[in-house]
Structure 1
Amino acid sequence: MAIENKFKGVLKTVEKAFKKLHQNGKYTPEDLLKTKEYKNLIKETSSVFESAILDNDIPEAMLKSLKEDIFIFSGLKTHAQLFEASSLLLTDENKKKSFSQFSKDVSKIKENYNQNYLEAEWQFAGSSAQSAANWADVSSDYDLQYRTASDDKVRDSHAILHNVTLAADDVFWIYYYPPNGWRCRCLAIMVRKGKFDVSDSKKSIANGEKATSQIGKDGKNKLAIFRFNPGLTKKIFPPEHPYTKVKGAKAVVKELKKENTIDLADFIKGEDPTNNEMKAILLKYADISPEDFRRGLDDVKFLKSTSYMMQHAMYHNRNSGEWVGGSIITLSSHEFSSIKFNPLEEFRGGLAAIKSGKKMTFNQEYSFESLWHEILHAKTKTPPKKLSTIGTKNMETVNQFVARHTYPDFIKKLGGEAIHQKEILENGYGYKSWITDFRANLKNRKIDEKKAAKHLMPFLMEDYSTIGSKVTKYLNENTK
């Protein structure tokens, strides 16, 4: 099927959307999910992008995340063109234009967004999905090698990267894993270690930076948005795409993400949730966020344990070394008197606070961070491995550090807002001395905490048994 035929549904739908825009005589971000014609345009656009990724063998959890990103991007794209077109609704005398005049004035906008831009985005979606699928199969037993299409259409800046060969966990792949631009056809493939000479990482990164640099008249780098890894981020499109900068975009994203947010009122019938209601909420969370449980969530338990606040467990076959079944999350109802903290009851109170629109207390919010720490254990791809004492300390320290920097998104999916993150970073209960020492080390080396968490999380998720060496390497390379 010709590319143009793939866009026919979008072209028909956009005509109806612009006709509705003229009829309304105005546009606000809130209209996006309240107006049938606008919603249909999002749906049709999303359908086009999804058609570009269907031929790739992508793990189910990742595929769900990629489709969610496509939906958000389609909404932002729809918003961007409606917002731009709305500025042409009125004449210089501030009177509403006739539809024929308005249609003529916005013809270029429709053509750009729904043919020119759409074609480039459709092609990028296909390449990005292929890269994400390839990343899901990456093994630390192999190196990765950058390959261009090796023809006369290859950009000079990309040609320089041809045959760059680096370990799969090299920083280069976090930022310069292809595609590195619109209509980029480059790939990264696994190659046997030792078959090719390993490239100089710093030189490769410098060349990658050049390949993604183009300074516009406004002084901004137009290509920096491509410095992301679709497989790591589980996103098809650049997170910093210009559509995300259009006025009102944040409000649009907020509305679109409601599609994947749990309404606690649907589960909690009384003032406080029962144990069964809390279990139902967490099972629902696992259902809408399969990427957070590598084999699903099988059960949620409530026990009076004095040895842990919350716990993640999975069974595995000792003979095969493989996981058996899904995750089991346990919340302890024990009152830890030294810190006056009952994990189960604080989590119960936190859910009740979110449902009623109240602010959570420090302890209530910390119970969510504590649970998120366990979900990170459920999220990692690391196979069953027995760690040494120092290996366990390294893993738990980084897991806790990352959890404290990323748990607010978990709370958002449950309809709440984190307001105590600064205090939790400083005074959270779990692995307190380890976290204090780790943060002090970063501070002494003048390393930004957020950047450290962002850098270390992919390694934590891929194979936490090597996280100690990754931390050491990161500290040595980034100490100022």
Structure 2
Amino acid sequence: MLKSLKEDTFLFSALKTNAQILEASQLLLTEDNKVKSFAAFSHDIEKIKSGYNQLYLESEYQFAITSWQMAGKWAEVLPNYYLQYRTAKDNHVRVSHQALADITLPSDDAFWISYYPPNGWRCRCNAIQVRKGKYPESDSAKSIAHGEAATSQIGKDGKNKLEIFRFNPGMQKAVFPPKHPYNKVAGAQKVKALVKEETGFKIGKQLKTGADVSRVMGDFATANPEYFVRGYQFTKATNKRGVNGYTTLRGDIYLKSDRITLVKEALNNIRSGNKTTFAQEDAISTMHHEMWHNANKPGNTRLSISQTKTMELANEFVSRKTLPEFMKKLGGELQNENLVNDRKSTGYNKMVRKYDQLVEWSNAHKTKVLESVKDHLISGDYNNQMEGLVKAVTKNSAFKIKDATIETLINYAKDESIPEEMYLDLLSRNKSLLVKK
């Protein structure tokens, strides 16, 4: 956590410097493109210095202090405890923030992803741990609506100036808003690339234990926080029967002991520049699958057996199709490309392969299908992943196909009693359902 917050502060400072230099460079010439006198140029520069180093600096300093403190508190949240939003309770509290006072919700509620304090410059609000049942639980949807109102201020350009504060410094291990305007200034992307090269993910020492795997994946999560929207906790071995791995969606990854060992070997090979084996990449795939669960923003919810299968279909589809990209982020390269289409070690393999056949049958744009399913997997509720799988096909197909038709065919794909060959034959015999747009 400390390392991440320091790196984020370093990045923000670099981006601010870039913005300041860019603005200064635009002051060298007059409106008619003549070089200003030194006195005039110096006078204009003083105005910039006053803005960046006095007016902005104090607000940024106060925000950084509060953000560091709240990130530290987030790291100390205990399992099964709730969080309660508290204001400073004086006449300086913003009306919009007062509306958030005493909101009490589980720490894994979606509200805390975007509205964990601080919620603006000079915000003094807090979130404290409370025992479950001590206070009435707030309505999550209404709380989120209050959070949206508290972080909304539409400027003259029609854009919401306060939306940048919708982040959680503890979850994202970030001191400053990831969408701060400094990120959009010309040259910002080059600055980010240079900073990432300096501070980004690298496998340092050779891994010897499972604890080393957890540490390295923690470093990876710091560099790639989108995989763990509620923050990363650990990677551990499990003896749970009937699974290769699992997660509670709270930043934890549990893998079978043999898979932990294979992941360790894979990371050591990547570190040394050696090729990874099939078994190692298969174990990496299991871990990657569980990581994608942690990328889902709404979080856990009650699911029926059918909804669970649908959710796992979407998750495995995305995790295997993005495996080459994940291997590159780790610093390696996928050697066994067949894992993208056929991963026999998972019980979800057949239904994913049948979904692949459905995409092929519908002549849907494969890249767009993946992006569509991925977007819904990240943002959509787990009990409604069918919508993402259906729309990914119907919206990106070369044919006009009814949503109900695709949903029926997906349910057939989920049916374990239907072999792949029979499913393919089913699709072939129903080509009449495909009508050109």
- The TM-score with structure 2 as length reference comes to 0.60
1:179 maps to which residue?
A: 118
What is the aligned-residue RMSD (CA, Å)?
A: 5.2
**1:256 has 2:195 as partner:** yes
Q: Is the CA contact (8 Å cut-off) linking 2:208 and 2:264 kept in structure 1?
A: no
Q: Which residue number in structure 1 is paired with residue 219 of structure 2? A: 289
Distance 2:8 2:341 in 1: 33
Q: What residue identity is the alignment partner of 1:217?
A: K
Equivalent residue number for residue 383 of structure 2: 472
Q: 1:219 to 1:80 in 2, by over 3 A?
A: same
Deviation string, structure 1 residues 238-264 (Cα, Å, up to 9, x no partner): 111111111121121111111134789
In structure 2, the CA distance between the partners of 1:328 and 1:263, relative to structure 1 (3 Å rule), is closer
The match for 1:356 is: none
Match of 2:262 in 1: 330
CA distance in 1, matches of 2:274, 2:29: 48
Equivalent-residue separation in structure 1 for 2:385 and 2:108 (angstroms): 12
- Cα 1:331–1:194 change in 2 (3 A) is closer
Deviation of 1:133 (Å): 1.5
- Contact kept in structure 2, 1:225 and 1:239, CA below 8 Å: yes
The yes-or-no answer on 1:68 pairing with 2:7 is yes
Counterpart Cα distance in 1 of 2:190 and 2:278 = 25
Partner secondary structure for residue 144 of structure 1: strand
TM-score with structure 1 setting the length: 0.55
Match of 1:162, as an amino acid?
A
Question: How far is 1:100 from its partner?
Answer: 3.3
Q: Distance in 2 between matches of 1:453 and 1:106?
A: 48
Q: Which residue of 2 aligns with 1:110?
A: 49
Distance 1:437 1:133 in 2: 46
Q: Distance in 2 between matches of 1:424 and 1:177?
A: 39
- Give the corresponding residue for 1:225: 164
Q: Which amino acid aligns with 2:373?
A: E
Aligned AA for 2:262?
T
Q: Which amino acid aligns with 2:328?
A: I
Aligned twin of 1:411: 328
Q: 1:213 Cα shift?
A: 0.6
Aligned positions, number: 336
Partner of 1:201: 140
The C-alpha deviation readout for 1:32-84, integer Å capped at 9, x for no partner, is: xxxxxxxxxxxxxxxxxxxxxxxxxxxxxx11112121111111111111111
**Equivalent AA in structure 1 for residue 118 of structure 2:** P
Superposition pairs for residues 154-165 of structure 1, below 5 Å?
A: 154-165=93-104
Shift of 1:225: 1.1
Question: Which secondary structure state, in structure 1, belongs to the residue aligned with residue 160 of structure 2?
Answer: coil
Confirm or deny that 1:449 pairs with 2:373.
Answer: yes
* Identity score, percent: 44
Note if 1:87 corresponds to 2:17.
no
Deviation at 1:115, TM superposition (A): 1.7
Checking the alignment, whether the CA contact within 8 Å between 2:245 and 2:286 is kept in structure 1 is no
CA distance in 2, matches of 1:137, 1:437: 44
Tell me, yes or no, if structure 1 residue 242 matches structure 2 residue 181. yes
Find the aligned partners of 1:349 and 1:123 in 2 and give their Cα distance. 40
CA distance in 2, matches of 1:207, 1:449: 29
Secondary structure at 2:127's aligned position in 1? strand
Partner Cα separation in structure 2 for residue 479 and residue 168 of structure 1: 32
Equivalent-residue separation in structure 1 for 2:354 and 2:129 (angstroms) = 37
| Aligned match of 1:127 | 66
**In the alignment, structure 1 residue 146 sits paired with structure 2 residue 78:** no
In structure 1, stretches of 5+ residues that fail to align are 1-61, 268-275, 298-310, 314-321, 334-342, 354-362, 382-389, 457-469
* 1:70-122 CA distance string (max 9 Å, x none): 11111111111111111112234544434433221121211111221121111
Report if aligned partners of 2:151, 2:163 keep a CA contact under 8 Å in 1: yes
Amino acid at match of 1:83: L
Displacement, 1:140?
A: 3.7
The secondary structure found in structure 2 opposite 1:254 is helix
User: CA 1:142/1:207 → structure 2, altered by over 3 Å: closer, same or farther?
Assistant: same
Instruction: Note the residue ranges of structure 2 that are not aligned, 5 or more in a row.
Output: 223-231, 237-243, 247-253, 295-304, 359-363, 365-370, 392-437
Quick one: structure 1 residues 394 and 449, their matched pair in 2 at CA, closer, same or farther if it must change by over 3 Å?
closer
Given that 1:261 and 1:414 are in contact with CA atoms closer than 8 Å, whether structure 2 keeps it comes out as no
* Equivalent residue number for residue 339 of structure 1: none
Is the CA contact (8 Å cut-off) linking 2:377 and 2:385 kept in structure 1? Answer: no
